Amino acid sequence: MNKQAGNLLIVDDDPDVLTTARMLLKQHGFSVRTESNPRAIPAALAGESFDVILLDMNFTKGENDGAAGMQWLAHILDADAHAVVVLMTAYGEVDLAVRAIKQGATDFVLKPWKNEKLLATILSALQLRKSKLEVEKLRSTRQSLSADIGRQYGDLIGHSPAMGPVYELIGKVAPTDADVLILGENGTGKELVARALHHRSLRSKEVFISVDLGAISENLFESELFGHAKGAFTDAKEDKPGRFELAAGGTIFLDEIGNLSLPLQAKLLTVLQSRKVRRVGANQEKAIDVRLICATNQPLHEMVHDHTFRQDLLYRINTVEIRVPALRERREDVPLLVDHFLRLYAKKYQKAGLRVEAPVIERLQKYDWPGNIRELQHAVERAVILTDGPVVSSADVLLSQVRPPNQQAGGRPPLREVETLTLEEVERRYLMELIGQNGGNVSKVAKALGMTRPALYRRINKHGL
């Protein structure tokens, strides 16, 4: 065993016990502190961290009720909820030790002990301590990541009249566990609204799991959302929890729910009704405790009428509906959004002090933004990259990213302009045009292009739309 295998505290009023234990454990690489008076425990805990604490049950001759040991056990656990306490007790006090374990002790050893048994007990306790600390680290990391994500997305930006109902609904719905359906075109910030609901909810300290249903193939749907057991299929080499299990206690956000096929809608509905998931290949169900938020850019109510979306699933997911307006409906917010993205990317690309010319702002406000805020974000980022001076001018805002204000929405750019573009820019413009013509409906765009949704998503991501 390596030196400094663990830091131990031994508390016993018998000096022979302390000496024997200290000599044995130091030989095996442990750092050992001994105390004969339990009143020294608070100072010891305040001064250093112990991996394992060995605690006697009785500290007064003639007493064997273990009251003192139970009292100090409670004190230790109050001071450190992750403390690992091993009790030292005489043979006739086993029932007492078992009762103490129910109160939070980890294990017990009988006095006089066998050295091998004492070492094995301490090693097992050390492993438990390590596991407890790792779990706590993971929990803290998860909370930190959740907070970082919240800071990254920040608060929703905008004071236009069109955003008023959105803010009002978030304020009313967030503190509840009501299921929420968020409607809006691509790029309007539906996930931003979902995160705002989560961070203002009673589950805010728990995890937020986002799932893009449009990017999950049908044959992986159950495995991704509900998990799978080892051996459930060829590549299932170990048990894997699904997204619903990972979101336990927190919020799960199902984006692009309108893209689910009817068979997958039925599977999802079953889980939402029972609030239980069964991993693929498993026999037992697991209860899930999640807050459900869904989003789509598709007209679900019309799809119900067309029998392409289940009415019972729609009823299940839309206790409250929040519609996020398109950017063209809130043009007053364009200057605020430009300022936000300008500061963000000026810092990223180390171009402090950048500002945007007033004519550029006016131009951006007149543009229809078929890609909404996401398109505006990319336009500002590219402008920051391209500008050489302290001011972003119209020349820095490429026409391949932003159409001229006098160009009709959905209209093609003049031929002479296309002739100066690369094939990649022509493809990007054409995608932007189709997305705008179809109101951001990815399924319709994919159908018009004769390609699958996943293939279209790859092209959208490729062009930063």
The pLDDT of residue 406 is above 60: no
What does the pLDDT average to over 40-52?
Answer: 87
Please report the pLDDT score of residue 152 as a whole number: 42
Q: Kindly give, in sequence order, each residue whose CB lies less than 8 Å from that of residue 416, ignoring residues fewer than 6 positions away.
A: none
Long-range contacts of 410-414 (CB under 8 A, 24+ apart): 410/370, 410/436, 410/437
The pLDDT of residue 258 is above 80: yes
The pLDDT of residue 250 is above 90: yes
Domain with CATH 3.40.50.2300 in the chain: 7-134
Percent of residues, the chain, with pLDDT higher than 90: 40
Rounded CA separation 453/455 (Å): 5
Rounded CA separation 385/381 (Å): 6
Report pTM.
0.59
Which of 285-289, 294-298, 320-324 shows the lowest per-residue confidence on average (mean pLDDT)?
285-289
DSSP secondary structure letter of residue 229: -
Here the tokens at position 84 are 């690992």
The 10s digit of each residue's pLDDT in 351-398 is 888 899 888 999 899 888 988 999 899 889 988 998 888 888 887 776
Question: Would you tell me how many other CB atoms lie within 10 Å of the CB of residue 312?
Answer: 12
Rounded CA separation 204/196 (Å): 10
Specify which residues 34 forms β-bridges with: 10
**In the CATH hierarchy, which top-level class contains the domain 7-134?**
alpha beta
Domain with CATH 1.10.8.60 in the chain: 328-462
The pLDDT of residue 306 is above 50: yes
Question: Would you tell me how many other CB atoms lie within 10 Å of the CB of residue 105?
Answer: 24
**In the CATH hierarchy, which top-level class contains the domain 154-325?**
alpha beta
Kindly tell me the burial class for residue 214, based on how many C-beta atoms sit within 10 Å of its own C-beta (0-12, 13-18, 19 or more): buried
- For residue 145, give the nearest of 230, 208, 57, 94 by alpha carbon: 208
Pick the CATH number of 328-462 from 3.30.450.20, 3.30.360.10, 3.40.50.10800, 1.10.8.60: 1.10.8.60
- For residue 45, give the nearest of 10, 86, 82, 80 by alpha carbon: 80
Domain with CATH 3.40.50.300 in the chain: 154-325
The 10s digit of each residue's pLDDT in 110-162 is 888 889 889 999 999 888 888 877 776 676 556 555 554 444 444 689 999 99
